[in-house]
Structures are given as C-alpha cells and as structure tokens.
Amino acid sequence: MKILSDLDINNLHHAYLIEGTEEIVLPEVLEFIENLGIKTTGNPDFFCVSTDFFKIADARNLKSMTLEKSFKEVKRFFVISTNSFLNDAQNTLLKIFEEPKENTHYFLILPDANILIPTLLSRFYLIKSKIDLESELKDAEKFVADSLRDRIEFIKNLLAEEKIDEEDEEEVTASKNSTRSKAIKFLNALELVLYNKYCRDTKLNQDKKIDFFKQIFKVREYLRQPGSSMKSLMESVALVVPIL
C-alpha cells in the first residue's frame, strides 16, 4: 500500500509532513504530484530541494518563493526532503504555515517528526511510513555486546566516508546518505535494541542505571546541528552504553 494512497486529491491539506526515508518517500511524492497533472520538471510552480540541513537561508528562500505569484499552474507545490530542520529556519517559516496561501501545498520529508518544534509540527498533516532499520539493528545488536575497543572501531568505520572538513560544513549541502544521517539512523536502531533488551530481561529491567538513554537522545539532537563533532559525540555513546 502506498504512503499517500488515502489522500483526498480534491481536498488537499496545505502542508504534509511525511516521516520516513527519502529513498522511499520522495519518488512517491513526485508520482502523486504528477498524477495531479502537475509537472515536476521544468515547472516554475514546482520546487523540490534535498539537503542534509535545512538552514535559515533555505527558509528565507522558500518564504520568498511562497509569496510570489504562480506562473502557469493553478496550484503550486513545494517539496523539501531534509535530515535536519534547524530551529531558526523553522521559526522563519512559522507564519507561512500559520497563514497558508490558497492553492499552495507543501510536502516535507523528515526521518523523525520530532525534529520539528511543536508549534510548527501542529500545522502539518502527519503521515508515517515504515523506516527500514534491518542493517542498523544488526549493527546495534553487535554494538551492545562489543568491547569498548570494538565499539570505537565500529564508529571509526561508520564515519569513514565523511570527507567534509567540519569547519567548512556550514557551506556544504550534504546528500541524503551523508555520514551524519547514517549515524542518526544507527542511534535510532541502538535505542530500539536497548529498549527491547531492558523490557524483556527482568534482571536488566530492575537496573535503574539507564542514563545512557538520555545520552543517546542528547547526541542525536547535537548531531542534527551543523558543526558538531560526530566522532566525539558517537564515542560518548560507546562509553556510556553498558556491555550486555
């Protein structure tokens, strides 16, 4: 069953938030829009951006385009796929979602709806899709049983493809498969593995020392900010997660 199959094409909401991976969600969003008779290429009334961080400059650009009049189409569509939506960018866009423009529709694709601040999240029609974590779950299962040395080696390999100087990261638009997004996806899997282990094991469940969950949460939040040190953050997780 397709993610957008239940949408009423005759009564579209002004803003949809789809929680899932770009690889799965974006092609369906484009197909959905094209089935409405809207061209997704060579059309000034259609805008699509894929980025690792959606920053304030992106928000200002989107706001400016929203205020422009349509060229040919009756409806205008904006599709944004991002791994992290920075808070200042969200605040910049609050007004255009609080006071939606007629015949203007937004599709926002995020790996986690909780990235959005509550006031902005409440303006969207939320759709959740299944996120495939099979590979990450296997890595997480091994990670919790590994020694600290092996964990550090795993993190080194996980971040090995990162070729961007963190000092220059503000100037870079990373791909959907960026090392940072893979690190966040792994943390989601690790959190799920640990949660299941502590819920199912009576002995572990009696252990009140579960502050590592807070650390995973903090690290995931910091990873969503450009300029943060991925290596240091991920190694802090390796240090605090108990060996099970």
* 104-160 tens-digit pLDDT: 999 999 988 888 999 999 999 999 876 667 888 999 999 999 999 999 999 999 988
pLDDT at 152: 95
What is residue 106's predicted lDDT score, i.e. its pLDDT? 95
Looking at residue 7, its pLDDT comes to: 85
Do residues 155 and 148 lie in contact, with contact meaning Cβ atoms separated by under 8 Å? no
Predicted confidence at residue 206, as pLDDT, reads: 56
* Residue from 73, 128, 121 nearest 97 by CA: 121
Range 202-208 average pLDDT? 56
Q: How far apart (Å, rounded) are the C-alpha atoms in residues 154 and 197?
A: 21
Pairing of strands 125-128, 46-54: unpaired
Would you say residue 84 has pLDDT above 50?
A: yes
Q: In this predicted model, which residue has the larger pLDDT, 203 or 199?
A: 199
Cα 175–132–192 angle (5° rounding)?
Answer: 105
Q: For residue 170, what are its two tokens?
A: 């503000």
CB 78 within 8 A of CB 44: no
Task: Name which of 92-101, 151-160, 219-228, 234-243 the model is least confident about.
Answer: 219-228
Quote the pLDDT of residue 23: 84
Count of beta carbons in the 10 Å neighbourhood of residue 34: 13
**Order of strands, sheet of 125-128, starting from the edge strand that comes earlier in the sequence:** 46-54, 76-85, 104-110, 15-19, 125-128
Cα separation, 143 vs 155, whole angstroms? 10
pLDDT number for residue 222: 87
Average pLDDT over residues 87-98: 91
pLDDT at 22: 85
**What pLDDT, on a 0 to 100 scale, did the predictor assign at position 58?**
94
Tell me the average pLDDT of the chain: 84
**CA distance linking residue 181 with residue 22, whole number of Å:** 11
Alpha helices in the chain (DSSP H): 22-35, 56-67, 87-98, 118-121, 134-145, 148-158, 179-200, 202-205, 212-223, 230-240
Roughly what angle, to the nearest 10 degrees, separates helices 87-98 and 56-67?
20
Q: What pLDDT does 172 receive?
A: 39
Three-class DSSP category at 152: helix
- Per-residue pLDDT at 75: 85
Q: What is the pLDDT of residue 198?
A: 78
pLDDT at 190: 92
Q: Is 81 exposed, middle or buried (0-12, 13-18, 19+ CB in 10 A)?
A: buried
Determine what percent of the chain is predicted with pLDDT higher than 90: 42
Name 171's Cβ contacts closer than 8 Å, sequence gap at least 6. none
Mean pLDDT of 39-62: 91
Give me the pLDDT at residue 203, please: 61
Confidence of residue 57 (pLDDT cuts 50, 70, 90): very high
What local confidence, expressed as pLDDT, does residue 153 receive? Answer: 95
In this predicted model, which residue has the larger pLDDT, 168 or 25? 25
What pTM value is reported for the model? 0.72
**For 214, what's the count of Cα atoms within 13 Å in the CB-facing half-sphere?**
4
